[in-house]
Structure 1
Amino acid sequence: MLVLNTFTILIQVAFIVFMSLLSMNIIRHFTGSVKRMAVFAPAIFVNHGGGPMPLLGEKDHMGLTIFLRDEVKKHVNFKDVKAIILVTAHWEENTVTISSGKHHDLYFDYYGFPPETYKYKYDAPGDPELAERIQTALKNAGIDSKLDPKRGWDHGVFVPMMLINPNADIPIIQLSVLSNQDAEQHYKLGEALYQFRKEGIAIIGSGMSYHNMREFRYSRNIGQVVNKEFDEYLTKACTSGNEKRKQELIVWDSQPGAREAHPPRAAEHLMPLIVISGAGGKGPGERIFNWDMSGTFRLSGFIWKGE
């Protein structure tokens, strides 16, 4: 009888231990799933404005300043972002080039502004290991690339980031666009970068949805929006699912008003949007910024949050 009771007790203890372990594994599984969902990072396109003017509070840039400083954080929880891959319009190369230093100084690639605009600091770290992983991912996608540990972060990086994340506590990898301005190649680049969003790495494109330097100089405050039709096309394309979005964007230059918005051989500011669209995943994007600079040039920003 004593042996039987002991055996019964052992079975009960074993059952309790088994159920405890099973419960722990179930909890771990579901909390792990929640964690994976929580860190899926967005792809976002922002307009960075002219030189340092968003940082100076210039009146024609106030709508942009307010968006970068106050509104972006409503769409992106930067506490969950582990790193940022930032594609900048102000770095064109024949081969996709990836910043790979532990630290990058600022590259003041603008002229004729007040002395204080050449003293800005933005000391977010780089991430050489992530840069190498990006290069590997691009190689696997059939995209040539190279690492650059020395080039500074241009104003396409530090101007928006000083407003978006002034704490400078998130590692940044700066990516160039291609000087050929080939839309299909840029979309493919975005598709290759998509996988990093699953790790909590946000992908930001920094450019301008409208960028015609001649018109910026001579057509301000004319009482009408000059690029309404092209902006409507961009919005329709970016808020479509992946296949339609891709088909629409790779032929952007055949759309009405396209070359007035981005002149021939001067479409570098649109390329980051096409990269980000490629990194957007299957679902449609959302327009989160729509503003008329000087009442004349309509600028739009977009975000992709889903898979």
Structure 2
Amino acid sequence: MNTTRLPTYFVSHGGGPWPYMDGEFRRNFNLLENSLHEMRADLGNAPRAILMVSGHWEEQGLAISSGDRPGMVYDYYGFPDYLYHIAYNAPGSPELAQRVQTLLRDNRMEARLDPTRGFDHGTFSIMKPLYPDEDMPVVQLSLDAKLDPEFHIRVGRALVPLRDEGVLIVGSGLSYHNLRAMRDASGEIPSREFDAWLQRTLFDFAPEARSERLIHWEKAPSARAAHPREDHLIPLMVALGAAEQENASLTYHQKDFFGNLTASSFRFGQPPNFQN
């Protein structure tokens, strides 16, 4: 068994099926793509599987993808036709799905196995740059549709043992997610204000206070302007909960995302190849 404790990540995953595109739209994600390549280099060969918590999968309660060959979920619109025929062909892991279910149940949280769930773009948009050979097993964990931040921090706490078992826990969302403001260019100040609060919360507060601030994230400057609905923020709670006592680091930061937006990704804990 892997004896290296892996860090956890919250990744701002970008828009739609961007890794499968080229041209101007794809260039919006150059910094994000570079950060994912650096993430892979930091991790080396330590992970044996990925547990992805995607902001694009919500259920009443929790669900875990348990198929051995997941299909695709084309959960975006307005893109060229060929992007509805792409495939990310990584294997699933029924064994890991059952392990996640057991850990959650041991902590009094029920989760059902879903053998039919495919990869949504919150998953494959990250995995394609990270593991282009499509050889890393991936299991997805849904959000609970109530989107309770405290509950999802507890979910992360239940999953801590996976970090010592070679499983990389990744929360996939966006630090800023207001689609209307993305289109009309009104998100510059709200995205900057919320990102500054998020960084201060993650970097400057002790673990208990940090978690408490995230539970009450709606009190942050521009909170609801940044997240009219918090589906893309809640994966952060799981990543934090699974490494609650560990320091946060900034792994991606961009002030001109789609022109004028601020977006960030974070790591909790140190990667295997970390050097003091």
**TM-score, length-scaled by structure 1:** 0.82
Aligned length in residues? 266
Deviations 1:129-158 (A, max 9, x none): 111111111011111211100011111111
The question of 1:226 aligning with 2:190 is answered yes
2:165 & 2:206 partners in 1: Cα distance?
22
- Which runs of 5 or more structure 1 residues have no equivalent in the other structure? 1-31
Q: Report the CA distance between 1:248 and its aligned residue.
A: 1.3
Q: Is 1:300 the counterpart of 2:264 in the alignment?
A: yes
Of 40, 50, 54 in structure 2, the residue corresponding to residue 73 of structure 1 is: 40
Which portions of structure 1, spanning 4 or more consecutive aligned residues, are displaced by more than 6 angstroms? none
Structure-2 residue corresponding to 1:273: 236
Please give the alpha-carbon distance, in whole angstroms, between the structure 1 residues aligned to 2:73 and 2:41: 29
**2:156 maps to which of 179, 190, 205:** 190
Mapped contact 1:44–1:276 kept (Cα < 8 A):
yes
Identity of aligned residues (%): 38
1:291–1:299: 8 Å Cα contact kept in structure 2? yes
1:190, 1:278 within 8 Å by CA — same for their partners in 2?
A: yes
Q: Is the 8 A contact 1:82 1:201 kept in 2?
A: yes
- Does 2:95 match 1:121? no
Mapping of residues 147-162 of structure 1, within 5 Å: 147-162=113-128
Q: Deviations over 1:17-41 (max 9, x none)?
A: xxxxxxxxxxxxxxx9xx62xx322
CA contact (8 A) 1:226 1:296 kept: no
Q: Per the alignment, do residues 227 and 256 of structure 1 end up closer, same or farther by CA in structure 2, a change over 3 Å counting?
A: same
CA distance in 2, matches of 1:140, 1:306: 27
Aligned-CA RMSD value: 1.9
Deviation of residue 190 (structure 1)?
Answer: 0.8
More RCO (CA 8 Å, sep 6+): 2
Q: Is the 8 A contact 1:241 1:284 kept in 2?
A: no
Alignment of 1:91-102 (within 5 A): 91-102=57-68
Contact 2:217 2:223 in 1 (8 A): yes
**In 2: Cα distance, 1:216 partner to 1:150 partner:** 33
Amino acid at match of 2:238: V
Letter in 2 for 1:41: L
Q: Which has the higher helix share?
A: 1
Instruction: Extract unaligned runs of 5+ from structure 2.
Output: 272-276
CA contact (8 A) 1:287 1:301 kept: yes
In structure 2, what is the Cα distance between the partners aligned to 1:294 and 1:121? Answer: 26
User: What is the TM-score of this pair, normalised by structure 2?
Assistant: 0.90
**SS of the residue aligned with 1:202?**
strand
Q: Quick check: 115-124 or 196-205, which moved more?
A: 115-124
